[in-house]
Amino acid sequence: MTEPSHPIGPTGPSETSGGDAPSVELPAVELRDIWKRFPGVVANAGATLRVRRGSVHAVLGENGAGKSTLMNVLSGVYRPDEGEVRIDGVAHHFRTPADALAAGVGMVHQEFRLVPSFTVAENVVLGACERIVRRPAVESAVEALAGRFGLAIEPDRPVWQLSMGERQRVEILKALWRDARILILDEPTAVLTPGEADELGAVLRHMADDGRTIVFISHKLHEVTGFCDEATVLRGGKTVAASLSVADTDASELAGLMVGASPVITERPPAREAGEIRLQVRDLRCSDDRGLPALNGLDLAVRSGQIVGVAGVAGNGQRELAQAIAGLRHVESGTVHLVGEDRTDATPRQRFADGLGYIPEDRIGVGLAPRLSVTDNAVLRTYGRHRRGPFLDAASATGHCRDLVDRFGVRTGPLDEPIAGLSGGNLQRLLVGRELVGGPRVVVAAQPTRGLDVQGVKAIQDLLVGERDAGAAVLLISEDLDELSTLADRLLVMHAGRIVAEFDPVTAERHAIGEAMIGHAETADDTGGDQ
Amino acid sequence: MSRPVLVRREQVLRGGQPLAFAVGLAVALVVGVALLVGSGHDPLRVYERMFEASLGDPRAWSVTLNRAVPLGLAGLAVAVAGSMGLWNIGAEGQIMAGAIGAAWVVRIGEGWPSPVLITAMLAAAVLGGGLLALGPAIARARLGVNEILTTLMLNEVAIRLVQWLTHGRWKDPESHNFPLAPMLPDNARLPGLFERAHMGVVLAAVVILLFGVAASRTAWGYELRVAGSSGATARYAGISLPRKILTVLVLSGGVAGFAGGIELSGTSDRITESLSNGFGFAGIIVAALALMRPSGVAAVALLFGAVQIGGQSIQTMGVSSSVSTILQALILFGAIAAGVLTRYRVEMVAGDATEAGR
């Protein structure tokens, strides 16, 4: 394994340990040949990681590549089956996260572990102060620590009042308070707005310059190229590229390493003649869950036999757009026409009857009911058709479910068992199958392939193309630009609750699309083109 | 060194709940032995007496069945709400409200034929219980007000209402100024079944069965399950959540009110402030142990009825009736603890257990 041996900047709070000569730069973190097996899964198959002290190091990989497992090994949550964990050159055998913390490794988890009714300062020192202390003293100590790293926070505010970005700062402060010299952040920007993500990047830079070592897990490439020094790419539990210098690479090379030679990005399916307008949205305005404007006069139209892709940075109203079309979000003004009829005020059930199939972003909890059986979930939209008087005809419902499962290749146990036992890909096949089985005239698919494995992605994409070829109007909202450029017949870019640009997916340059996604839409070609 | 750790089962153990229940009962009886020995009693004799008084002969059965009626109906009331993820903690008050409704019908229905009077009483009882739950139901459905607090607080209101009535307008003129309502006339009494058991046993069984079928076989029950599993999924499926919440909570109150009507007409001489006797609260335990399923409610209610009747019977031996209360609580604890094992299994691992349950 070759690793560039840069001279380090300012030394961190740690002292060089071990008996090595001080002239040899020891990596802050070294994971050698880590193996970790779970029943039926090998999560890490000889993964390695070397992180230079005082750097921001990205760990990249698709879902299921073994990133989280490797980080859990580093932070003492899991013990590796084989392999070695070295911190500052010293081998460690962490038994608990507390052991890892004692060695200076702190983790900021994706789900925050905070007490909502406690203040920021109370959360930071919780479990890490040995005696009862005066509140003002703790608050000023926390404030001083936050100030040192440029973390804007009010120590006396209760956590429940804070935004997601502020909560994350509290989590980071917790690790810093416990004197973590090596900080692991597990997909820290997933819950942040783009502005907050940039701020986080600055904070991480600041901490690295202070001598701390940051391990940053992500699959957003622009963040990696934006504020990381080096990147390690995992695929299938193995390290496929170790400690690449970010300055010497680019997003497309990293993306290539992440997906490898897998056939996710398929050939463009041949286009089809577009028909009449099936879905028309005019001047749509509505608010998000916090009551802030999410859609600000959005217009779009989708024709029969057409896939219209919507690209955009997460949080620019894509979620609200899908919900408003499906009838699950209050529309403040504007109209939604389905198959020529104004259905702005129709219920979700009426819209389904009109031929709208909706694949929501949240599979479990919106699209599927978690504790119910496979059959119960399969008839969620159509249980009215399996009625006999007040009774549900169990045989007819089971028959319908059996058809669905066979036709869409859902691998499942007994149909009367809860869906909790199904894998992510099979859950999505069940959900997509249910929405498509009746031959919808309009399909709204929100992030339909997110988090699925390669086969799952392919299966869902093929189904959407199949619907288009059968004449449906498909609105595909996705954060995966590759998916959009492959599948979409027209590519719209959404920013701040509006469609700001339209591209021809065949000829569009990624650079131009990216500019439009961040709101610089003046360079976009053929805006407002044919509909 | 090896030590046990809990490992999540891939599938919940089938038939695990009755097993957990049996474990809970066993735990309760074993701990009960310690309690009884500690207080200077012969545990075997006490348990024998409890068994005889509650399950020993047809007469004991009849008393236990009568006791299982309000427990089962209150448990059903809690379970109906619970199947949708709502907590009706107000069954105690709704039982009272039901009894008030039934007692009011008795006052206006002097001289009515018995079947008419009793039917009217029970209908009024359902209305009374439903009415008490209506406020919390509307507040929850329209404004999202937590129904646990509102239903709980209305318990006090209902009990004070009974006190106010028995101290005032409904006071029996022949009670020598004791705050007592008049005795029920004979035509307001539920007919007997066998020994001391009354028709309420059959009525309660029918109601529980009806709800069991409705919950598992009808479209209404399906919608309830969807809404209970995830509110967002229910909206997606086109189910109106506010309407479901409203009907379910009012229905839950109505079932508890029905229990009050049956208790008044079946086992009580008159309406008193102690008529609900903790049944509403015991109903929460019954529903929880039955995992909010009507079929389970009936079984748990029978067992709790037996424990309560057995517990009362040993007072003549000088054992405090608290023993039966403690036993009920221990059954709950034991069963809940054992219930964990339906979802997890115990595995012995070498060394430490840092990865337990991950």
Lowest-pLDDT range, A268-272, B31-35, B118-122?
A268-272
Q: Is residue A21 pLDDT above 50, yes or no?
A: no
Give the rounded percent of residues in chain B with a pLDDT score beyond 90: 58
Inter-chain residue contact A421 with B10, CB threshold 8 Å: yes
CATH class of A30-259: alpha beta
Examine residue B191 and state whether it is found in any structural domain, yes or no.
yes
Over residues B314-338, the pLDDT tens digits come to: 888 888 877 778 877 887 788 778 7
Task: Give the model's pLDDT for residue A191.
Answer: 67
What's the pLDDT tens digit per position in A87-144? 998 999 888 888 898 899 999 887 788 998 888 998 998 877 766 678 888 888 899 9
* Closest CB to B218 among A350, A381, A390: A390
Contact A419, A427 (CB under 8 A): yes
CB within 8 Å: B225 and A376 = yes
**pLDDT attached to residue A51:** 94
Q: At what angle do helices B91-108 and B279-289 cross, to 10 degrees?
A: 130
Domain extent, residue B175, equals: 70-277
B320 inside domain: no
pLDDT in tens, A274-299: 889 999 999 999 998 877 889 999 99
Q: How confident is the model at residue A55 (pLDDT cuts 50, 70, 90)?
A: very high
User: Is position B282 within any domain?
Assistant: no
pLDDT at A29: 93
pLDDT at A63: 64
- For chain A, the structural domain boundaries read 30-259, 262-355+440-531, 371-438
Q: What is the DSSP letter of A38?
A: E
Instruction: Please report the residues numbered 16 through 75 in chain B whose beta carbons come closer than 8 angstroms to any beta carbon of chain A.
Output: none
Express each pLDDT in A68-81 by its tens digit.
889 999 998 888 99
User: How many domains would you assign to chain B?
Assistant: 1
Average pLDDT of chain A, as a whole number: 83
Interface of A with B (CB under 8 A): 76-79, 95-96, 326, 328, 347-350, 352, 358, 360, 362, 365-372, 376, 380-381, 383-384, 387, 390-392, 394, 413, 417, 421
pLDDT above 70 (res B205)? yes
Q: What is the mean pLDDT of residues B14-30?
A: 81
Under an 8 A CB cutoff, do A366 and B355 touch?
A: no
Q: Look at residues A217, A246, A191, A215 and name the one whose alpha carbon lies nearest to residue A60.
A: A217
Cβ contact, residue pair B236, A384, below 8 Å? no
B241-258 pLDDT tens trace: 999 999 999 999 999 999
Question: In chain A, pLDDT over 70 holds for what percent of residues?
Answer: 87
Q: In chain B, pLDDT over 70 holds for what percent of residues? A: 94
A510 band by pLDDT with thresholds 50, 70 and 90: confident
Q: How far apart are alpha carbons B98 and B133 in whole angstroms?
A: 11
Q: Which stretch of DSSP H or E encloses residue A238?
A: strand A238-245
User: Does A348 have pLDDT greater than 80?
Assistant: yes
User: In the CATH scheme, what is the code of domain A262-355+440-531?
Assistant: 3.40.50.300
Q: Does A366 contact B230 at a Cβ distance shorter than 8 Å?
A: yes
- Residue A248 DSSP code: G
Mutate to test the interface with B, among A81, A95, A319 (most CBs of B within 10 A): A95
pLDDT band of residue B349 (cuts 50, 70, 90) is low
Does pLDDT of B15 surpass 80?
no
What pLDDT, on a 0 to 100 scale, did the predictor assign at position B62? 96
pLDDT of the residue at A5 = 39
SS3 A514: helix
Residue A53: per-residue pLDDT: 92
A262-355+440-531 has the same fold as A30-259: yes
Mutate to test the interface with B, among A101, A347, A366, A417 (most CBs of B within 10 A): A366
Chain A positions in Cβ-Cβ contact with residue B220 (cut-off 8 Å):
390
Q: At which residue do the structure tokens 């809990």 appear?
A: B6
Domain for residue B58, yes or no?
no
The answer to whether the CB atoms of B229 and A369 lie below 8 A apart is yes
**CA–CA dist B36, A424 (Å, integer):** 54
What residues of B are in contact with residue A369 (Cβ under 8 Å)? 225-226, 229-230, 233-234
B211, B217, B236, B293, best to mutate vs chain A, most A CBs in 10 Å = B236
Supply φ then ψ for residue A170, to 5 degrees.
-65, -40
Please determine, for residue B6, whether its predicted confidence score (pLDDT) is greater than 90. no
User: How much is the pTM?
Assistant: 0.73
Contacts of A368 in chain B (CB under 8 A): 233
- Rg for chain B, CA atoms, rounded: 22
| Predicted local distance difference test score (pLDDT) of residue B11 | 63
- Residue A464's pLDDT is what? 94
Q: Which residues of A touch B229 (CB under 8 A)?
A: 369-372
Mean pLDDT confidence for B12-35: 82
